[in-house]
Copies of this chain bind each other. A is one copy, B any other.
Amino acid sequence: MKKKIAVLPGDGIGPEVTWQAIKALDAVGDRFDHYFEYCFADVGATAIDKTGSPLPDLTLEACMNADAVLFGAIGDPKYDNDPNAKVRPEQGLLALRKGLGLYANIRPVTTYSNLLHLSPLKENKVKDVDLVIFRELTGGIYFGEKGRAEDNSSAFDTCLYKREEIERITHLSFQHARQRRKKVTLVDKANVLENSRLWRHVVQELSTGYPDIELDYMFVDNAAMQLIQWPKQFDVVLTSNMFGDILSDEASVIAGSMGLLPSASIGLHTSMFEPIHGSYPQAAGSDIANPMAAILSAAMLLDSLELFEEAKVIRAAVTTLLEKGIGTPELSPRITYGTTQIGDTIAHMIAEPD
C-alpha cells in the first residue's frame, strides 16, 4: 500500500519527536511492505520566520493532498512574550483546523503498569485505565456569537449546536466503541442546558443503529468527579467542545506523563495526528524529549488508514520498552534513553520482531 503523509514538525521539540515517529512508520513500511511518501512542510513559529505566515498556503496544500497529516508541536516563547505580535504560531493550528475541517478530537488515555507511580492518583485507581475522549471541535460556545457592552456593563457568549455537528462525531464515537469495550458515555448538562438536551436527543436516536453498543449519560460535574474516583468505568466518552476541553485535560494528567499521550483530529477532508504535549522549547535539541506520544500518534494515523495490525505493532513496541524500564528522563526510568535512542530502538523492534 502506498500512502502520502504530510509531515508538519513545527517548533521546539516538534521536529525531533516527529522524526522518531517517521522512523517507526518506515519500519512498519519495511515489515508490512507499505510505502509512505512524506511531504515535509512548515507550520508555527518556524513558518512565520520563513514566510511571515503560521500556515503558508503550500503547507495547507500539502495537507489537502495527503492521506494523513503528522503534526509535531507549535509555539515559541519569542511570540508569547510579545503582546504586540500580530501573527502567532498558534494561529497556524486554528487555520489548519478550519482548512481541514477537523471536527472531532480524539484523546486516548492509557496507563502502563510500571508507570503507575507517576500518576497523581493512587495506583489502584489508575491501574488498567483505558479510555478515550471524543471532543466535538467545531461548534459550541467557543465559536458562538459573542459580545461585550462598550461600557463593560455586560458580556455574553452563545453555545450553539447543530444536529449535523452532533451526528458526525456521534457516528465516529460509536464506530470506535465497536473496536473497544462497546460502551459510550455521553457527558453533558442536560438537566440545565438546552443544547445538551439536543445532544441527548440526537445521540439517543442514532444509538438505535448501534444495538451492540451500551450508551449511558453523565452530567459534566459528575464526570469531573468520576474521572478521579473511578476512571476505569469509562470506555468511550462523547462530549461537546468545551466539556471535552476541560475533561480531556483533566484526564490527561491521570496517566502521569504527557509524554505518552497521542491524539487524533478527524477532518472532513484529511485527518491530523499529534502528541498532546506542547513544543517545550527549553528541551529542544537536548535529546531528552519523549518521542512516545508522537510515535503513538503515528499508530493512530495507521488506524485511520485501516492498518490496524501495523498500529498494534507500534503500540506493542512502546509497551515492551516501558515494561523493560526504558524511558526518557522525565519518566525516572530504570534505564534512561535519549530521544533518538528510543526512536531507533522502537524502529528496530518493529522491523525485526523476535
Q: Which of A's residues lie within 8 Å of B, judged by CB?
A: 119-122, 125, 141-142, 144, 146-148, 152-163, 189, 192-195, 197-198, 201-202, 220-222, 224-225, 227-229, 242, 245-247, 249-250, 252-254
B160 in contact with A154 (CB, 8 Å): yes
Bound-state Cα–Cα, A220 to B147, Å: 20
Count identical subunits in the complex: 2
Also in contact, A155 and B228, with CB within 8 A (given A125-B120, A221-B245, A249-B222): no
A146 in contact with B194 (CB, 8 Å): yes
Cβ-defined partner of A156 (8 Å) among B144, B163, B253: B144
Instruction: Tell me, rounded to whole Å, the shortest Cβ–Cβ distance linking A85 to chain B.
Output: 15
B195 in contact with A156 (CB, 8 Å): yes
A sample of 6 more A-B contacts (CB under 8 A), given A120-B122, A146-B194, A146-B195, is: A121-B228, A141-B141, A221-B246, A228-B254, A229-B253, A246-B246
On chain B, the residues within 8 Å of A250 by CB distance are 221, 224-225, 227-228, 250
Bound-state Cα–Cα, A221 to B251, Å: 10
On chain B, the residues within 8 Å of A161 by CB distance are 154-156
Bound-state Cα–Cα, A148 to B159, Å: 12
Bound-state Cα–Cα, A250 to B228, Å: 8
Instruction: Tell me, rounded to whole Å, the shortest Cβ–Cβ distance linking A95 to chain B.
Output: 16
Bound-state Cα–Cα, A250 to B121, Å: 13
On chain B, the residues within 8 Å of A162 by CB distance are 153-154
Instruction: Tell me, rounded to whole Å, the shortest Cβ–Cβ distance linking A246 to chain B.
Output: 5
Bound-state Cα–Cα, A152 to B164, Å: 11
On chain B, the residues within 8 Å of A249 by CB distance are 221-222, 224-225
B155 in contact with A198 (CB, 8 Å): yes
Instruction: Tell me, rounded to whole Å, the shortest Cβ–Cβ distance linking A170 to chain B.
Output: 14
Bound-state Cα–Cα, A227 to B253, Å: 10
